[in-house]
A and B are shown apart, each in its own frame.
Chain A
Amino acid sequence: EVQLVESGGGLVQPGGSLRLSCAASGFTFSSYEMNWVRQAPGKGLEWVSYISSSGSDIRYADSVRGRFTISRDNAKNSLYLQINSLRVEDTAVYYCARDSSGWSNWFDPWGQGTLVTVSS
């Protein structure tokens, strides 16, 4: 069974940092591109970041570029999101999602999400 399990969320003060992790299982992680998508409380979905299977191609939403860093460790079947200089508006559930890969970029499956709350 393909499974993605996020961890690392929590309550952090504005300006703080967190590192989110996503543990993958049930598929050949090193063959797939991956993404982070977030959802603010009661709001819609926002794509955050993408990383290619090798890690050589990385993309970010404008809202997080320069503050967030996506990375992966294929030996550990893990995806990461380092989030720095956190703002109140970064409060959201953060999902990792497997990319369809190739020339398309839809998301299937998704993890259950990890909640990041930015508040003083």
Chain B
Amino acid sequence: EIVMTQSPATLSVSPGERATLSCRASQSVITNLAWYQQKPGQAPRLLISGASTRATGIPARFSGSGSGTEFTLTISSLQSEDFAVYYCQQYNNWPLSFGQGTKLEIK
């Protein structure tokens, strides 16, 4: 089973600043990685698939990078609506697995 580890657990950033979230896989997942955003009381929403491809309707300030075991989600200029919990998910191997999440909070 591939274990996904996200860091940090909580990230405090001011609006307008850049946020960088990390996700590490216990073995290579190539670029078979997705990122999701979840706000309180809501279902997760797909942001990124294939490690770097934005989903339909996702603003350009969200970008994904990485391959193998190290991945990054960058939000270039934080808007108020971006404060949420972010999860990475690998789909290279069964069972599918998620990271434990990074909570992005307002500084």
Contacts and interface: CB of A to CB of B under 8 A. Distances in A.
A59 interface: yes
Most buried by A among B1, B49, B100: B49
A108 B46 contact: yes
B20 to A, nearest CB: 20
Query: Which range holds the interface residue count of chain B?
Result: 20 to 34
Interface string A56-67: 000101100000
Interface residues of A, number: 21
A44 B95 contact: no
Contact of B45 (A44, A61, A62, A110): A110
Contacts, number: 57
Interface of B is mostly: loop
Interface stretch (A7-15, A45-53, A75-83): A45-53
Contacts of B87: 44-45
B60 interface: no
Contact of B98 (A44, A50, A100): A44
B89 interface: yes
B46 A47 contact: no
A105 B99 contact: no
A103 to B, nearest CB: 9
Contacts of A50: 96
A32 interface: no
A106 interface: yes
Given A45-B101, A111-B43, 11 more contacts: A44-B99, A44-B100, A46-B98, A47-B97, A61-B95, A62-B1, A104-B50, A105-B96, A108-B46, A108-B49, A109-B45
Interface of A: 35, 44-47, 50, 59, 61-62, 95, 100, 104-113
- Give 3 nearest A-B pairs by CB, closest first: A108-B46, A106-B34, A105-B91
